[in-house]
C-alpha cells in the first residue's frame, strides 16, 4: 500500500500491474527526452546570436518534425494497446466473485459456492485495534487464493461506484444495471487495500476494499468454515 510522501506508484503485485509500471517508465522517459530537447532548443534560441535564414524554409526540417512525432506516438501506442488487450483477457478463471456497490459498503458473493456471501463495511475509527489503518480496514475481508486467476463481476445497486485496488492494477466501474468484469492474480500473499474511486455521495470516502491473498490450502479451509 502507499506510504506517506510517496512519489511513485505502489509496488506491483500482479503481472498486469508490472506491465503498467514498465509502460509508465517507458512513457515517462519519452516525455523527459522531449522536454529536454524543447528546453535545449529554447535555450539555444535565446542565447545564441547565430541565425540561419533558410532554416524555416527547409523541406528536410518540415519532414523531420512531421515524421518524428508520428514515430514517437507509435512507440507509445503499441505497448499501450498490448496492455489494454491483456487487461481484457479472461483466461479460464479458477474462481468467480461478484461484488455489488452500495451506499456506502460493498457486498461479495462467491458464485462457485452455494451460500458464501457477506457485506463488507469500514471499521469506524473508534473501534480500530492497534496497528490497523484508519479508513482502510473492513469487518469482512475478501479472501482469495494467490497465484490463481480470479474473475471479479462488478455492479452496483444504487449509484456509480468504482472498485479499485492500485497494487493489483485494478479499477473497474460499478454501474447500476450493468455487469462489468475484470480478472486479478496476485503473485504473493498479503493484504491489499483499495477504495471506491468514483464520487458516490457523502460517504464516498468510507467504503474501502481489502483483499487478503492466501495460499490455496488456507483458502479451502476458510471457505469450508464460511459455508
Percent of the chain past pLDDT 70, that is, above it, reads: 97
Mean pLDDT of the chain: 91
**Locate cell 455487469: which residue?**
179
Give residue 3's pLDDT band: very low, low, confident or very high (50, 70, 90).
confident
| 144-183 confidence digits (pLDDT tens) | 999 999 999 999 999 999 999 999 999 999 999 999 999 9
The pTM (predicted TM-score) of the whole model is: 0.85
Q: Is there a single domain that holds both residue 150 and residue 113? A: yes
In a domain, 5, yes or no: no
In a domain, 10, yes or no: no
Looking at the 3D structure of the chain, how many domains does it have? 2
Cell of 110: 462467491
Q: Is there a single domain that holds both residue 123 and residue 209? A: yes
Q: Is there a single domain that holds both residue 63 and residue 168? A: no
In a domain, 49, yes or no: yes
pLDDT over threshold 80, residue 129 = yes
Model pLDDT, residue 53: 66
Q: Is there a single domain that holds both residue 73 and residue 123? A: no
| 184-193 confidence digits (pLDDT tens) | 999 999 999 9
DSSP state of 177: T
Q: Is there a single domain that holds both residue 110 and residue 45? A: no
Omega cis (within 30) before 40? no
Cβ contacts of 143 within 8 Å, gap of 6 or more: 212, 214, 219, 222, 223
Rounded Cα gap, residues 100 and 107, in angstroms: 5
Q: Is there a single domain that holds both residue 136 and residue 40? A: no
In a domain, 36, yes or no: yes
Pairing state between β 142-145 and 208-214 = parallel
Q: On the CB side of 180, how many CA atoms lie within 13 Å of its CA?
A: 20
Q: Is there a single domain that holds both residue 84 and residue 100? A: no
Model pLDDT, residue 54: 66
In a domain, 6, yes or no: no
Model pLDDT, residue 55: 63
Residue 46 belongs to what domain range?
15-88
Amino acid at each position: 500500500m502507499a506510504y506517506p510522501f510517496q512519489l511513485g506508484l505502489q509496488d506491483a503485485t500482479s503481472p498486469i500491474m508490472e506491465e503498467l509500471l514498465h509502460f509508465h517508465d517507458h512513457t515517462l522517459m519519452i516525455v523527459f527526452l522531449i522536454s529536454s530537447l524543447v528546453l535545449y532548443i529554447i535555450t539555444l534560441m535565446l542565447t545564441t546570436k547565430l541565425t540561419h535564414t533558410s532554416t524555416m524554409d527547409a523541406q528536410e526540417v518540415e519532414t523531420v518534425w512531421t515524421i518524428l512525432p508520428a514515430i514517437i506516438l507509435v512507440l507509445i501506442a503499441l505497448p499501450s494497446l498490448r496492455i489494454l488487450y491483456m487487461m481484457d483477457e479472461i483466461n479460464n478463471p479458477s474462481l468467480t466473485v461478484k461484488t455489488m456497490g452500495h451506499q456506502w459498503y460493498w457486498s461479495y458473493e462467491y458464485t462457485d459456492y452455494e451460500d458464501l456471501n457477506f457485506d463488507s463495511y469500514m471499521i469506524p475509527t473508534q473501534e480500530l485495534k492497534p496497528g490497523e489503518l484508519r479508513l482502510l480496514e473492513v469487518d469482512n475481508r475478501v479472501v482469495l487464493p494467490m497465484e490463481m486467476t480470479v474473475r471479479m463481476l462488478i455492479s452496483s445497486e444504487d449509484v456509480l461506484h468504482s472498485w479499485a485496488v492500485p497494487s493489483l492494477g485494478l479499477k473497474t466501474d460499478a454501474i447500476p444495471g450493468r455487469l462489468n468484469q475484470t480478472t486479478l492474480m496476485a503473485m504473493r500473499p498479503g493484504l491489499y487495500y483499495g477504495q471506491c474511486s468514483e464520487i458516490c455521495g457523502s460517504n464516498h470516502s468510507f467504503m474501502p476494499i481489502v483483499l487478503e491473498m492466501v495460499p490455496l490450502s488456507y483458502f479451502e479451509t476458510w471457505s469450508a468454515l464460511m459455508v
